[in-house]
Amino acid sequence: MTQNWRGKAVHVRAPGKINVFLKVGAVMPDGYHDVATAYQAVSLYEDVRAYDADDFSVAFTGSIDSTGLLTDGSNLAIRAARMLAHRAGYRGGVHLEISKNVPIAGGMGGGSADAAATLLACDTLWGTELGREELLGLAARLGADVPFAFTGGTAIGTGRGDRLSPALAKGQFQWVLALATFGSSTPEVYRELDRHRDRHAQDIFPAQTQPTVDADVLQALRAGDPHMLAESLHNDLQAPALHLAPALAQVLEIGEANGALAGIVSGSGPTVAFLAADPDGALELQLALGAARHTVVRVTGPVHGARLIGD
Ligand code: ATP
């Protein structure tokens, strides 16, 4: 194939996320569940480089094997670029090179980070200057987690998770991530939760009650206290994720037996995130999980959202 892109790249970096708290409510009329979540952006990044081109294309590199990922119009990054071009009336295209470090279908919002970074990169490359609010509106149309990948930091998400309000957070939390060799389908994990709730009528979330983020999570984030946060980590999707991938229970056990303050399935999984007390604790945990043949990454949070990088 002849190269049809040109010029200097616009480079944008966007983070993956952990849901330190996720409560799932009733199914809404649009088919999505009503959720209340506390997101934290962590230092595992997607790097998107956007080049001027006549049409739309994407190629992947990076630490994650992306060979199974479709690069056609269904790819979230291409969808983001096309949506922005359509909205701005831009008639050209873009070639995207994405260095992927967030696991695919890992519950860490990697595709969402690609979409958020692409919106900002194309807005800059094409000089569309839509402004932050308008870009956030497009982000919400692309997926529930895309607005958060755009804003980063620590935030509360309600509705589908796309209605964001910032949360006060102090300091840096130390996380060790155990990456799985397989992915989880987010809709499938929600379906498993619904099946479980149907089987156990007493667990059904009252349809009229909106889920909220517990006050002790907000307090732990405000205090920057990992011990407090460890006590309040919560994910309603953890049980269905474990049901679909029982091997994750053993990963949680290994981490918790090796000094993790707590472990939690990230979003719909299968990535498991362990909270450590300090950098030394995180290093020890990384070694222990590595010795048990798990692929592990040490990250910190919160970090910034999608932003331009000067190369
Ligand atoms: P979330 O936690 O937001 O539900 P996730 O981290 O579990 O997402 P992603 O890697 O963001 O999962 O993507 C899930 C699916 O979306 C993939 O299985 C893939 O088929 C599709 N997809 C489309 N575009 C991308 C992309 N650029 N990167 C990753 N997956 C993509």
One digit per residue, the tens of pLDDT, for the chain of length 311 reads 556 777 889 999 999 999 999 999 998 888 889 999 999 999 999 999 999 999 999 999 999 999 999 999 999 999 999 999 999 999 999 999 999 999 999 999 999 999 999 999 999 999 998 999 999 999 999 999 999 999 999 999 999 999 999 999 999 999 999 999 999 899 999 999 999 888 876 555 555 578 999 999 999 999 999 999 999 999 999 999 999 999 999 999 999 999 999 999 999 999 999 999 999 999 999 999 999 999 999 999 999 999 999 87
Please give the structure tokens belonging to residue 266. 């990230």
The rounded Å distance from CA 103 to ligand 1 centre is: 9
Please give the structure tokens belonging to residue 133. 């609010």
H helices of the chain, where? 76-88, 110-126, 132-142, 146-151, 186-199, 215-223, 226-232, 238-244, 247-257, 279-291
15: which strand partners?
45
CA atoms within 13 A on the CB side of 248: 29
Q: Of 150, 167, 184, which closes a domain?
A: 167
Same domain, yes or no, for 212 and 115? no
In a domain, 86, yes or no: yes
Same domain, yes or no, for 15 and 146? yes
Same domain, yes or no, for 41 and 136? yes
Question: Would you state the pLDDT for residue 1?
Answer: 52
In a domain, 198, yes or no: yes
In a domain, 308, yes or no: no
Q: Which atom of ligand 1 is nearest to the CA of 76?
A: 24
Same domain, yes or no, for 238 and 129? no
Same domain, yes or no, for 146 and 202? no
The catalytically annotated residue of 17, 34, 100, 123 is 17
Pairing assessment for the beta strands 234-235 and 173-179 based on DSSP bridges: unpaired
The count of domains in the chain is 2
Residue of minimum CA distance from atom 31 in ligand 1:
111
Q: Which atom of ligand 1 is nearest to the CA of 114?
A: 27
CA distance 141 to 147: 9
Q: Which residues have C-beta atoms less than 6 Å from ligand 1?
A: 69, 75-77, 104-112, 114, 145, 183, 186, 267-268
CA distance 192 to 265: 15
State if pTM tops 0.90. yes
The rounded Å distance from CA 304 to ligand 1 centre is: 20
Q: Is 110 annotated as a binding residue?
A: yes
Q: Which of 74, 76, 100, 248 to mutate to test the pocket of ligand 1 (most atoms within 8 A of CB)?
A: 76
* Contact present, 85 and 122 (Cβ < 8 Å): yes
In a domain, 49, yes or no: yes
Q: Is 108 annotated as a binding residue?
A: yes
Q: Which of 20, 58, 66, 104 to mutate to test the pocket of ligand 1 (most atoms within 8 A of CB)?
A: 104
In a domain, 132, yes or no: yes
CA-wise closest residue to 226 among 286, 299, 276: 276
Same domain, yes or no, for 162 and 48? yes
Q: Of 151, 167, 183, which closes a domain?
A: 167
CA distance 250 to 191: 23
Query: Max CA-CA distance within the chain?
Result: 61
In a domain, 310, yes or no: no
Q: Is 153 annotated as a binding residue?
A: no
* Contact present, 278 and 174 (Cβ < 8 Å): yes
* Contact present, 285 and 276 (Cβ < 8 Å): yes
Side chain identity at residue 165, one-letter code = S
Same domain, yes or no, for 38 and 128? yes
CA-wise closest residue to 162 among 267, 287, 37: 37
The rounded Å distance from CA 104 to ligand 1 centre is: 6
CATH number at 58 reads 3.30.230.10
In a domain, 306, yes or no: no
Q: Which atom of ligand 1 is nearest to the CA of 103?
A: 10
Phi and psi of 303, rounded to 5°?
-130, 175
Same domain, yes or no, for 69 and 162? yes
Q: Of 138, 167, 196, which closes a domain?
A: 167
Same domain, yes or no, for 13 and 162? yes
Same domain, yes or no, for 52 and 78? yes
CA distance 132 to 127: 13
Q: Which atom of ligand 1 is nearest to the CA of 184?
A: 7
Same domain, yes or no, for 24 and 151? yes
Burial class (CB in 10 A: 0-12, 13-18, 19+), 246: exposed
CATH number at 177 reads 3.30.70.890
DSSP letter, residue 224: T
Question: Would you state the pLDDT for residue 7?
Answer: 84
Respond yes or no: is residue 114 known to be catalytic.
no
The rounded Å distance from CA 197 to ligand 1 centre is: 26
In a domain, 155, yes or no: yes
CA atoms within 13 A on the CB side of 263: 27
Q: Which residues span the domain enclosing 230?
A: 173-301
Respond yes or no: is residue 145 known to be catalytic.
yes
Same domain, yes or no, for 207 and 152? no
Q: Residues near 203 by Cβ (< 8 Å), separated by ≥ 6?
A: 196, 197
